[in-house]
Structure 1
C-alpha cells in the first residue's frame, strides 16, 4: 500500500473484501477510484487482475497483472494470479512458467504449488502433479483442496493405498467432505466398510453442511448401500442426490432433442476434405458415459504405438472458439464453413493435442460427449477413427444415474432424461456410422466380454494398428486414468458388473422410458 493516501488504502481494503464476497461491481468501482489517483500502483493493478480473473475476463486480467509485474518483477503473488489468467486464455505453458516462478520466489507458500499441481492434474500430467501437490500439502497440512486433488491423482495412477490415506486425512480435517467420501467410494475394488457406511450416514444427516458436500455424500452413500446389498436404500440415496443436483440446474431434454436434430442436419452437406489423411493420429472414443469407454481406451493405450490421453477438452474448445469467431453457435455456422475452414480447425486440434504424441504416434481422446461432433469429423479430421462405445442400455443408464457429473446442467440427474439423451446419441451415431463406416465403429461392451481376443483384434484393425498381445493384458498398464473407472480398468475383464436387476420394479420407469 506504500505511497497511497489513507482513503485509497481503505478503498483497496474494501475492494479486496468485495472480491472475496462476490460483490464484483462494488470492487470495480473502488478499484477504479484508486487507479484514478494512482494509475500504476502495483497493488491496485494486482487486485484488478484478480477481479477480472474472477469475472473470467482473462485478457483484461493479464493486462493488469503485467502492468503490476512491471512495478514488482519479483512478486510471487502477481505471478500466481498471472498464471490463472494465462490458463484462462488457454496458454498452458506460460501459465505453468508463471506458477513455477511463483514457487521459486516463495518456496514456502502453498498456493503457487497448489495452482501448479491442479493445472498439471487437469491436463493429465499426473505423475508431475503428485509431487507438486504433495509439496502443497506439506506446506499447509490443512489445505483441504490440495489433499483431495493429491488423493485423486494417486487414484488415477492406481496408487489406491496412498489415495485412501489422503482421502481419510481430508476427512480428519472435514468429516463431511463430500469429495473425500466420493473418492473413497470410487475405489471400486475396495468397498467401504460397515463402519465407514455408518460414519458416512451420520455425516450426511448433519444439518450444517454445504449442499455440495451433501450431494457428493449422497452419491457415495448410494454406492455403499449397493455394495452392501441394500438396494432400496441405495436407490433412495441416489434419487435424493440426483434430485438435489437437478434442482441446481435442470436439463432440457426437449431442447437437446431439437439441438441433436440440427447437428445431424448440419452434417449432411460438408465439403470434401483437402487432405483425407488429416487426423489419422487421433482415435476418438465417444458415446454415453459408463458405457465401457475407459475400458476400450485402456485396451488401446496398452498398444506400444498409442498414448492414452483420457478426457480432453480440446475438440470442444476448437468448436467453441470457431463459434466465437463466427459469432454464431454450433452448428449454425457449419453450412458456411469451407474446406479450408475445416482443415484449419483440424490442424488447430492437432496442434493443441501435440503433447500426446511426444512418445507415441497415435493417441486416444476419450471424451464421451464429443459424439456431437462425429458428423462433422469427415470434414475436420477425415483421417481420424471414431469409436462409439455401447453397453446394455439399462445398465448404461443406471450407471449414469449413480455417477455424479460436475458439469451442469447434466442429463444424468433424471432417469427419463438419461433415456432421452441415450436415444438421441444412438440415433445420431447410427446415422453417421452408416454414412462413414470406414471411420466410425460401434464397439459393444457385451461383445468384448463374450469374445475378448477377436473383439480386440477387430478394434485394433479398425484403428490401423497391428495386433499386440499386450492389449489383452490391458489391466497391467501403468498410465494415469482420470475417470471414475480408474480402479476397474486395472482388473481383468469381469462378467459380474451388471447391477440393474437387483433393483427390480424400482427401475421400471427407466425400462419404460428406454422402450418409448
Structure 2
C-alpha cells in the first residue's frame, strides 16, 4: 500500500493498479486499495471502472470523506450528476473543514448556470483554503457571470498577490471588458509574461490578456505580437484540421437533406437556439430575449451535442453517419430527451434560449428532432468577428481561432451551411444582423421577437437591466447600454491586411 501511494504521487497509474491488485488478491474488499485503484482508473480515463471501485470502497468505509470526494468526481464523469452531488454533500458533512466538497459542488452548479448557489459554495472553498487558486479563480468567474465585477476584481487580484504569473487571474481581469486594465497592470503583465519559469498554460493565458490590454492602450503592434505568440503556442498544442472540418460540414449538409416528417410538428416550441460564429453578438441577442418575461436565458448549453453524441455511441457510428437510418420515432425520442435534459430552464418561464454557437452544426436536424424550435443565426461584420475570435482564448481544443486562414475557412463553412438550412426551413431558421441592432435597436428587436413568435415587450429595449447569469466572455458588455462604436480593427490599419486577405478569399458574405 505504501508503494501504491508513492506510485499515485508519481502519476504511474499502471503501477498503482498492479500493486493494489496484489493487495486485493489477498484482501478482496480492502477499502484503501479500492480507493487507490479507483484513482488510478480515473487517471487513465476509465471512469466507469473508477466509479465501481470507489463505490465498493465507500460501501466498506462509508464515513471516509476522501472516498466520497473521489467517488463524486467519478460519478460526474460518468454523467451521474445527481449522484455526484449527493456524494460531495455527504463528504461536506463528514469533513466540514475540507475545501474540496464545496469546490466540486460549486464548480458543478456553476457549469449549470446556478451561479448564486455556486458563489456561496466557492466562497466556502476559498475561505477554507486561501491558497487554493482554482477556487478563487472560479469564484471570480462566477462573480463576473453574476455581474458583480468589483468582487470579481478583488478575487482575481488576490490570486495575483499569491502568484503574479497566474494566467487565469490575468485572463479573468482582461475579460471584464468594460474595465480596461491600467498602465501599471500592463507593465506587470508584460513582465510576468516574459518570465522563463512559468508553465505553458499560464504563458498562453497571459499572452491573450496582454494582447487585450495593449489594444486598450492603443499599442496595436504589441497587441498583435502578443496574440500571434499566444495563438501559435495554442496551435502547436492542438492543430486544427480545416480540410477535415470542411469535409464534415459537407457530410452534415448531405445527410440532413432528406429527413422524415416529424410526428409532432410543435415539439420543441419552448426552445430558441442562438447559433453562428462565436463573437458575433450572440450573447447580446440572448440578453435581449432574456429580458422578455416569457424567456429564460440559459446561456451555452451542451445538451444538444450530448444527446446526439449519446445516439452516436448507441448506434456505433459518429454523427452524421447514422442520420439517414433514423426514422420519425427516433427523432422524436431524441427531441424529447433534449427537452427533458433542459427542463430546469423552463421552471420559471415557458421558453428558453440555448446559446451554444457551435450548434449551427446540428441545426440541419432540428426540423426533424425539434421541429417547433426557433433557430436564430447571428452575424456581425466579418472582419470584426474574425479579429474578436483571434483575440479570444478558447479552451476547447483544437480550435479554429488560432490562424487567420482557419478562421476564414470556418466562417465560410458556417455561413454556407446556415444558408442551406435556412432554405430548407425558412419558417424556423432566421438571420439576425448585429449591425442592424446597432442602427435601429427597436426595429431589430421587433424583428427578433417576431421570429421567435413572441409579443413585443418594452423590457427588451432595456436588456442591460436583465438580471441573470451570463456565462460567456461578453458577460460585462451585455450589461451595458448598446454602443455603436464596438469595432476594434480600424486602429490596426495595415497590420490586419493578412486577415482581410483571408476573408476576401472566401468570397462575399
Distance 1:135 1:479 in 2: 22
On the 8 A contact 1:15/1:31 being kept in 2, the answer is no
Gap regions ≥5 residues in structure 2: none
Distance 1:350 1:101 in 2: 30
Distance 2:245 2:403 in 1: 14
In the TM superposition, 1:379-398 aligns within 5 A as: 379-398=368-387
Is the counterpart of residue 400 in structure 1 residue 389 in structure 2? yes
Number of equivalent positions: 505
Deviations 1:310-348 (A, max 9, x none): 011111111111111111111101111111111111111
Structure 2 residue matching 1:356: 3-state secondary structure: helix
Distance 2:113 2:137 in 1: 16
Structure 2 residue matching 1:32: 3-state secondary structure: helix
Q: In the alignment, which residue of structure 2 is the partner of 1:330?
A: 319
CA RMSD of the aligned region, Å?
1.0
Structure 1 residue matching 2:266: 3-state secondary structure: coil
Distance 1:51 1:281 in 2: 43
Q: In the alignment, which residue of structure 2 is the partner of 1:202?
A: 191
1:424 to 413, 416, 436: 413
Deviation at 1:104, TM superposition (A): 1.0
Q: In the alignment, which residue of structure 1 is the partner of 2:3?
A: 11
Deviations 1:157-196 (A, max 9, x none): 0100000000000001111000000000111111000000
Deviation at 1:52, TM superposition (A): 2.1
Q: In the alignment, which residue of structure 2 is the partner of 1:5?
A: none
Is the counterpart of residue 357 in structure 1 residue 349 in structure 2? no
Deviation at 1:15, TM superposition (A): 3.8
Q: In the alignment, which residue of structure 1 is the partner of 2:86?
A: 97
On the 8 A contact 1:110/1:140 being kept in 2, the answer is yes
Distance 2:342 2:45 in 1: 24
Distance 2:340 2:314 in 1: 18
Deviations 1:177-221 (A, max 9, x none): 000000001111110000000000010010000000000000000
Deviation at 1:57, TM superposition (A): 2.1
Distance 1:10 1:65 in 2: 19
Distance 1:509 1:199 in 2: 30
Distance 1:205 1:400 in 2: 24
Deviations 1:270-306 (A, max 9, x none): 1111111111111111000000000000000111111
Q: TM-score, normalised by structure 2?
A: 0.98
On the 8 A contact 1:56/1:88 being kept in 2, the answer is no
Structure 1 residue matching 2:69: 3-state secondary structure: helix
Distance 1:274 1:483 in 2: 35
Deviation at 1:514, TM superposition (A): 1.1
Q: In the alignment, which residue of structure 2 is the partner of 1:446?
A: 435
Deviation at 1:111, TM superposition (A): 1.0
Structure 1 residue matching 2:432: 3-state secondary structure: strand
On the 8 A contact 1:12/1:34 being kept in 2, the answer is no
1:498 to 479, 483, 487: 487
Is the counterpart of residue 284 in structure 1 residue 300 in structure 2? no
On the 8 A contact 1:223/1:234 being kept in 2, the answer is yes
Is the counterpart of residue 216 in structure 1 residue 205 in structure 2? yes
2:366 to 377, 387, 392: 377
Is the counterpart of residue 187 in structure 1 residue 176 in structure 2? yes
Distance 1:176 1:161 in 2: 21
Deviation at 1:504, TM superposition (A): 1.3
Deviation at 1:434, TM superposition (A): 1.1
Deviation at 1:55, TM superposition (A): 2.6
In the TM superposition, 1:252-331 aligns within 5 A as: 252-331=241-320
Q: TM-score, normalised by structure 1?
A: 0.97
Deviation at 1:10, TM superposition (A): 2.8
Q: In the alignment, which residue of structure 1 is the partner of 2:448?
A: 459
Deviation at 1:11, TM superposition (A): 3.4
Deviation at 1:92, TM superposition (A): 1.6
Distance 1:355 1:52 in 2: 32
Structure 1 residue matching 2:360: 3-state secondary structure: helix
On the 8 A contact 1:299/1:474 being kept in 2, the answer is yes
Structure 1 residue matching 2:275: 3-state secondary structure: strand
Deviation at 1:17, TM superposition (A): 2.4
Q: In the alignment, which residue of structure 1 is the partner of 2:467?
A: 478
Gap regions ≥5 residues in structure 1: 1-8
2:163 to 161, 171, 174: 174
Is the counterpart of residue 81 in structure 1 residue 70 in structure 2? yes
Distance 1:56 1:470 in 2: 47
Deviation at 1:505, TM superposition (A): 1.4
